[in-house]
Amino acid sequence: MEFMLDTINIEKIRYYQSILPLVGVTSNPSIIKKEGKIDLFAHLKEIKEIIGKGSLHVQVVGETTEEILADAQAILDQLGNDIFIKVPVNEAGLAAIKQLKEKGVNVTATAIYSEMQGYLAIAAGADYLAPYYNRMENLNIDAAAIIDALVAEIKRTHSSSKVLAASFKNVAQVNQACRKGAHSMTASPDIFAQVFSMPSIQEAVTNFQKDWEGTFNVQNVKALGDSEE
Ligand code: E4P
C-alpha cells in the first residue's frame, strides 16, 4: 500500500514525513481553504521541497474542459511537470483527462462515487483513481465493493492505473480499502494519529521498558552496552 497525506498543512507534512513511509501529498480546494488565503504556489513549492521525490496532487477548479485544461497548465507552469493534476470525473473532467494523458501529464481522477466513473477513468489512462470511501458510505454505497471492482478492472485490463482510496473518517475504512486491494490511500493527519492512539500500544512500550530497567538497572540497550565496555 502507498500512503499519502491529505493535507497542505506544512507543520503536519513535516511531522509525518519524518514518521510515515509517505509517497505523496494530496489536496483539494476544501483542504486548501483550511489554511486560509495563503500564497498558494509558494506554499505548494515548499511542500514539494519537504516531500522530495514524493508526488504532489493538486486539483483543478474550472468547470468546462477548456477551463480545466487552463487550470492544469497554470499548475504545471507554476509547480513543474511532475505534479499530478487532480480532475473530477464528470463529463468535462473526463474529456480533460483524455487530453491531459495524450500530452503525458500525470493525472489523478477524483470525486469517484461509482464503478462506471472509475472504469472510464481507467480507460482514459488516469494514473490514479480516487474513490471517496466515507462519502460513498454516507450515500449508502458499498465503498469496499467499488474498490474491489476497480482493482479487478485494472488487473483485467492490465492497466497501470492505481486506486488511491480517499475520504476516510476512521482507520477501519482504511483497513477495508486495503483488504480490497487499493494500491494507495490518502488520509488526513488525524487518521494517522488514530492509528497510534490506542492506549495499549504505549502501555506495552512502557511495560517493556520497566522490565528492562528492572532486570539490568539501566534505562536502555545503549546504556547496557556502554556499561559493559
Ligand atoms: C482526496 O483525493 C479527496 O479530495 C479527499 O480525500 C476527500 O475527502 P473528504 O471526503 O474528507 O472531503
CATH code, domain carrying 193:
3.20.20.70
CA distance 147 to 177: 7
CA 30 to ligand 1: nearest atom: 12
pLDDT score for 229: 80
**Are both 182 and 222 inside the same structural domain?**
no
Active-site annotation, residues: 86
CB of 6 sitting under 6 A from ligand 1: yes
**Are both 144 and 170 inside the same structural domain?**
yes
Which residue has the least CA distance to atom 6 on ligand 1? Answer: 167
**Are both 114 and 210 inside the same structural domain?**
no
Which residue has the least CA distance to atom 12 on ligand 1? Answer: 167
Which residue has the least CA distance to atom 9 on ligand 1? Answer: 167
Annotate 78-104 with DSSP letters as a single string. HH-TTPEEEEE-SHHHHHHHHHHHHTT
CA 169 to ligand 1: nearest atom: 11
**Are both 134 and 203 inside the same structural domain?**
no
Domain count, the chain: 2
- pTM of this structure: 0.96
CA distance 149 to 227: 58
Radius of gyration of the chain (CA): 21
**Are both 169 and 211 inside the same structural domain?**
no
Q: Which three cell numbers stand for residue 96?
A: 480533460
pLDDT tens per residue across all 229 residues of the chain: 999 999 999 999 999 999 999 999 999 999 999 999 999 999 999 999 999 999 999 999 999 999 999 999 999 999 999 999 999 999 999 999 999 999 999 999 999 999 999 999 999 999 999 999 999 999 999 999 999 999 999 999 999 999 999 999 999 999 999 999 999 999 999 999 999 999 999 999 999 999 999 999 999 999 999 998 8
User: Do 5 and 16 form a contact (C-beta atoms < 8 A)?
Assistant: yes
Domain carrying residue 119: 2-197
